[in-house]
């Protein structure tokens, strides 16, 4: 529970303060904002586990906030609970149709709200085991695989990080961004099958960080193959004219995807998956 992060979007200060204090006292991390646009800016950098969203806000209403969150792949699956004074059936149906998981009217029972939040987060935790775009093991599932790997006497992790994904998505759209992620995932899986020895495991630590769990004997070859394939194909993800301009001009306005690679091998004094993930990130360097 302590790891769950709730974003509260509520313009009434007393209600926002009461909800923040109450949920923090039950072990949740809480962020509260009073404007719809503040919520949309916040989720660009920090993805909460759940959003409690008022409908009547000073700038844009909660329906529009929900609509924009659902329109982007990054935030499409974040659970949203509407908390509002609107009691009409048509308002409830509008909220649920937009993809909210629950709709609670004011005044509300705070203990009932807490239980609804707990239940929603439990369901979401069970679902979030594969990446929504690539289908690879993700979050808790891949963390479990890393934990099991640490029990082995010999292992290696080959990591490939595709960076500047946000800029790429903003320039060319989320469909192009998702196509890129799927293509990279397929490349990583195919190379793992061909060069990573028996029963390699492939997963993601975050959107752009892919990992292959293999053996020290195979790690160098896997990295070599991944580097070559990514260098060959990176240009295909861009419109042709933008890629050609970027190759000719160092100051091109086109966002530049950065590929970084890393290898981590046993032994290592890692006490838990978090330490291991930090070491994987530290091992990354620009692909050559």
Q: Contact at 8 Å (CB) between 168 and 255? A: yes
Place of tokens 């020290």: 216
- Do residues 276 and 146 make contact, with C-beta atoms less than 8 angstroms apart? yes
Candidate CATH numbers 3.40.228.10, 2.40.10.500, 3.40.50.2300, 3.40.50.1000; the one for domain 5-127 = 3.40.50.2300
CA distance 177 to 272: 32
**Residue-level pLDDT at 108:** 85
The token pair at 50 is: 């759940």
DSSP 152: S
What is the homologous superfamily of the domain 140-286 according to CATH?
Reverse transcriptase/Diguanylate cyclase domain (3.30.70.270)
What lies within 8 Å, CB to CB, of 208 at 6+ separation is 161, 162, 163, 165, 181
Which of 183, 161, 185, 154 is closest to 257 using CA atoms?
161
What is the C-alpha to C-alpha distance for residues 171 and 237, in angstroms, rounded to an integer?
Answer: 12
User: In this structure, is the dihedral angle defined by the CA atoms of residues 109, 114, 120 and 122, taken in order, positive or negative?
Assistant: negative
Give the position of tokens 């959003």: 51
pLDDT of residue 92: 67
Pairing verdict, β 209-214 and 201-206: antiparallel
Alpha helices in the chain, H assignment, sequence order: 13-25, 36-45, 62-71, 89-97, 110-127, 140-149, 165-172, 174-195, 216-233, 240-248, 273-283
Count Cα neighbours of 49 within 13 Å in the Cβ-side half-sphere: 22
The per-residue pLDDT string of the chain (288 residues; one tens digit each, 9 = 90 and over) reads: 447 899 999 999 999 999 999 999 999 999 999 999 999 999 987 889 999 999 889 999 888 999 999 887 678 788 999 887 766 767 667 767 777 778 888 888 899 899 989 988 887 766 667 787 888 988 778 888 888 898 888 999 999 999 988 888 888 887 888 899 999 999 999 999 999 888 889 999 988 999 999 999 999 999 999 999 998 888 888 887 887 776 666 555 678 888 999 999 987 778 778 889 999 999 999 876
The CA-based diameter of the chain, rounded to the nearest angstrom, is 65
- Count the neighbouring beta carbons within 10 Å of the beta carbon of residue 258: 13
What are the distances in angstroms from CA 264 to CA 154, 158, 268, 284? 11, 7, 9, 9
The domain locations on the chain are 5-127, 140-286
End-to-end, the C-alpha distance of the chain in Å comes to 42
- Return the structure tokens found at 43: 């989720």
Give CA–CA dist 9/13, Å, rounded: 10
Helix H or strand E segment including 161: strand 156-163
Quick one: tokens of 242?
């933008």
Question: Of 196, 186, 187, 195, which Cα lies nearest the Cα of 156?
Answer: 196
Measured CA to CA, the distance from residue 65 to residue 274 in angstroms comes to 33
**DSSP code of residue 2:** T
Q: What is the pLDDT of residue 128?
A: 61
């Amino acid at each position: 529970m302590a790891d769950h992060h709730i974003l509260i979007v509520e313009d009434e200060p007393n209600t926002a303060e009461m909800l923040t204090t109450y949920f923090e006292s039950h072990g949740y991390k809480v962020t509260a904002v009073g404007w719809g646009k503040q919520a949309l800016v916040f989720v660009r950098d920090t993805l909460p586990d759940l959003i409690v969203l008022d409908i009547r806000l000073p700038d844009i209403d909660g329906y529009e906030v929900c609509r924009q969150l659902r329109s982007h792949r990054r935030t499409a699956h974040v659970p949203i609970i509407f908390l509002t004074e609107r009691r009409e059936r048509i308002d409830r149906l509008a909220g649920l149709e937009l993809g909210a998981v629950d709709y609670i009217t004011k005044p509300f029972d705070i203990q009932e709200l807490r239980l609804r939040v707990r239940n929603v987060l439990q369901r979401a935790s069970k679902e979030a085991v594969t990446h929504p775009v690539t289908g690879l093991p993700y979050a808790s599932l891949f963390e479990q695989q890393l934990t099991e790997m640490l029990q082995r006497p010999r292992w290696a992790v080959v990591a490939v990080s595709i960076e500047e994904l946000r800029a790429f998505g903003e320039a060319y759209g989320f469909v192009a961004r998702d196509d890129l992620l799927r293509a990279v995932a397929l490349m990583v899986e195919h190379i793992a099958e061909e060069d990573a020895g028996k029963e390699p495991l492939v997963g993601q630590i975050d959107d752009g960080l892919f990992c292959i769990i293999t053996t020290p004997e195979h790690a160098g070859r896997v990295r070599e193959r991944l580097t070559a394939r990514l260098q060959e194909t990176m240009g295909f993800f861009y419109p042709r004219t933008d890629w050609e301009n970027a190759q000719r001009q160092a100051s091109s306005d086109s966002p530049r995807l950065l590929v970084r690679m890393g290898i981590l091998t046993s032994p290592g004094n890692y006490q838990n998956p978090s330490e291991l993930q930090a070491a994987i990130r530290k091992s990354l360097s620009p692909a050559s």
